[in-house]
Amino acid sequence: MFSNALYGQFEVSSEFFRYSDDNIYNSSIKISDNIYNAALNGAYNFASEKNTLQLYTQNTMSYYQINMNTSSFLRKVGVVDNLQLSETNQLNLGANYSLKNNRDTFTLLDFSQISAYGNIRHYFSESDFLTGGYIYYNNSFTNFSLFSHDVHKAFIRFNSSFETETSLILSSDLSTKLYSEKIETSANETFQLNLSAQVGQSIAKNTGLSAYFQLKSNLSQAVRSFSFDSTVFYQDELFNDVFSSEGYEAGVSLTKLFSTTFGAKAELVYSKRQFSTLPVFDYDGNILASERRDSQIAFGIELQKDLSSTLQGFAAHFNWNYLYNSSNDSFYKYDNQLFSIGLDYSF
């Protein structure tokens, strides 16, 4: 038998922000809207010298001012446990349950998710460590069981920092997606490999430059679709499925802290993707190409300000993002501008 002193702490945070989006569906048919997001999160921590257990809940509402049918509500509850096994090894375990409800027309996209993960981190030094782990989640579509599936992912990541104020992150993961309903005319599973590298460098006082490269490869192909009113709907387009494309992405970002309470970040990203299981159609339903190919360039600026000196517990942020997507599918030739401003409060 043993006893241990536990210390409990209750956390609550809320967030409200507004988006102005001139292309909410990311397509050539540009539809703009103002989106209001409100979030209320809570957590309770049980802590000891070597263990921290957290119970949490997250609740988010997205309200579209013009296209109200797109509005949705997301609720999540979960538990996380961080256990210090030794001076050099840390075990992290977690599980959560999510439920998303959509308005009217989009109830087709309603889903629930069960997720669990475990990873162990080994420290070679204070600044160098290796993390390996496993992630599982099940997506169940209430009104569309054809697309319900399980995902298993194994990953490994190495983090290192040097005296030259340089940081390095190398990571890889292998994922498999298994559909719940087996169909003879369609692939029932798919595999994907991701490799990435990121380098960060301090270039001046309170100024950092970061660059990364990510390569994504589909080791097998799977696509599901259904027909309705003489139209074929592909899962890739309905759910923006991460398993639907492969390619690479590269980006660079510059971060500047003007003071302890005010910071800015600018980022430039370029990516190329090919959707080998998604044909290109014209508006009459004729196939123009066997696979869709996209290239995208995106730019963003973020400003963050801690307001605690005048409003205890408050912080504010402003974001502007612009992206241009080129595609051999004319429906996906578009640009998009997104502005957001928000306020956070926590205690």
pLDDT in tens, the chain (347 residues): 455 555 679 999 999 999 999 999 899 999 999 999 999 999 999 988 889 999 999 999 999 999 988 888 999 999 999 999 999 999 999 999 999 887 776 677 788 999 999 999 999 998 999 999 999 999 998 878 888 999 999 999 999 999 999 999 999 999 999 998 888 766 788 899 999 999 999 999 999 999 999 999 998 877 777 777 767 777 777 777 888 889 999 999 999 999 999 999 999 999 999 988 888 888 777 888 989 999 999 999 999 999 988 889 999 999 999 999 999 999 999 999 999 999 999 98
pTM of this structure: 0.89
Q: What pLDDT is recorded for position 4?
A: 56
Where does 7-346 sit in CATH, by number? 2.40.160.10
CB atoms within 10 A of CB 127: 12
One-letter amino acid for residue 119 of the chain: N
Q: What pLDDT is recorded for position 105?
A: 64
pLDDT in tens, 161-178: 999 999 999 999 999 999
CB atoms within 10 A of CB 346: 12
Q: What pLDDT is recorded for position 145?
A: 85
Q: Which residue has the tokens 């196939």?
A: 287
Q: What CA–CA distances, in Å, run from 290 to 4, 215, 238?
A: 63, 22, 19
Q: State CA 51 to chain mean position distance.
A: 27
Residue 116 in tokens: 């669990």
pLDDT in tens, 268-296: 999 999 988 888 888 777 888 989 999 99
Q: Assess contact for 133 and 122: CB atoms under 8 A.
A: no
pLDDT in tens, 93-106: 999 999 988 777 66
Q: What ranges do the domains of the chain cover? A: 7-346
Cα distance between residue 110 and residue 157, in whole Å: 33
Q: What pLDDT is recorded for position 1?
A: 43
b/e per residue, 198-236, with b = 16+ CB within 10 A? bebeeeeeeebebebebebebeeebbbbeeeeeeeebbb
Cα distance between residue 158 and residue 163, in whole Å: 17
Listed in sequence order, the residues at least 6 apart from 293 whose beta carbon sits closer than 8 Å to its beta carbon are 272, 273, 274, 275, 327, 328
Cα distance between residue 272 and residue 31, in whole Å: 24
| β 225-228/129-141 pair status | unpaired
Cα distance between residue 344 and residue 107, in whole Å: 30
DSSP state of 312: T
